[in-house]
Amino acid sequence: MVGTRKRELGKEHHSTLTSMANLASTYRNQGRWKEAKELEVEVIETRKRVVREEHPSVLTSMANLAHTLKS
C-alpha cells in the first residue's frame, strides 16, 4: 500500500506520509523496532522539507520516533 501511494501520489504527499507513519506504528506494535525507526526517520525528514519544522505533523512524527526509541 505504501509503495502504491508513493508511485501514485509521490513521496511528499500528505497521504503517502500518513500511510508511512501508520505502517511504522504497525511495525512498532509488532516489535519490529528497526523497520519502525527507519520509516519514522524518513517521514520526519520528508515532512521537514514539505512543511516548516515546527508544524504539528513534524512534531507528532518526532514523538512517534521517541516512543519507538524508548521501547
Structure confidence by residue, pLDDT tens digits, 38-69: 999 999 899 888 887 777 888 889 888 998 88
Question: Is the CB of residue 42 less than 8 Å from the CB of residue 17?
Answer: no
Cα–Cα dist 6/17, whole Å: 9
Domain boundaries, the chain: 2-70
Structure confidence by residue, pLDDT tens digits, 25-40: 999 999 999 999 999 9
